[in-house]
């Protein structure tokens, strides 16, 4: 997986939609680490079941030996989602689109990656949780 800086223009795959990158990590040291609000992880799991822009092959985590991490996703939290083979795409209130590898869930949960706050808010918004405005992120 080619690393792209957070909030740089998405160019991994062809798309008609302008999007910004989130979570295409290059190395374990190069990213912001913080505790991420659990609700952000929850909504990313919900959204992950959509398997946006599914790839033919798998990307593995660069930081650990885990092979094909799987999470329970979807609205009911009971859909097995394989991480590393698709993207999660969200839209912020200002219309900005973001594209993250679904491995971002693993990066947050296991490697303390902290995505940009605007992405977290966009994910919550996209998942349709009304409390987005009240979401408190670590600062």
Q: Which of 8, 35, 64, 93 binds Zn ion (CB under 5 A)?
A: 64
Q: How far is the CB of 97 from Zn ion (least distance, A)?
A: 26
Please give the Cα distance from 57 to 111 (Å, whole number): 23
Opening angle at CA 127, ends 133 and 122, nearest 5? 55
Q: How far is the CB of 55 from Zn ion (least distance, A)?
A: 18
Query: Of 32, 42, 43, 35, nearest to 89 (Cα)?
Result: 43
Q: How far is the CB of 74 from Zn ion (least distance, A)?
A: 22
Mask: binding to Zn ion, 4-43, rule CB under 5 A, as x and -? Answer: ----------------------------------------
Q: How far is the CB of 29 from Zn ion (least distance, A)?
A: 14
CA torsion through residues 76, 78, 79, 82, sign: positive
**Candidate ranges 18-26, 30-38, 63-71, 114-122; the one touching Zn ion (CB under 5 A):** 63-71
Give residues with Cβ within 8 angstroms of 42, minimum separation 6.
Answer: none
In the complex, the residues that contact Zn ion under the rule CB under 5 A are 61, 63-64, 110
């Amino acid at each position: 997986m080619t690393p792209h800086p957070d909030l740089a223009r998405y160019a991994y795959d062809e798309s008609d939609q302008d999007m910004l990158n989130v979570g295409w990590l290059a190395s374990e040291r190069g990213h912001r680490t913080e505790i991420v609000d659990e609700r952000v992880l929850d909504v990313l799991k919900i959204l992950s079941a959509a398997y946006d822009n599914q790839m033919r092959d798998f990307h593995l985590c660069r930081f650990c030996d885990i092979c094909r991490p799987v999470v329970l996703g979807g609205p009911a939290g009971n859909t097995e989602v394989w991480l590393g083979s698709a993207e999660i795409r969200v839209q912020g209130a200002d219309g900005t689109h973001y594209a993250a590898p679904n491995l971002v869930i693993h990066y947050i949960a296991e490697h303390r990656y902290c995505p940009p706050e605007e992405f977290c808010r966009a994910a919550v918004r996209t998942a349709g949780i009304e409390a987005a405005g009240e979401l408190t992120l670590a600062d």
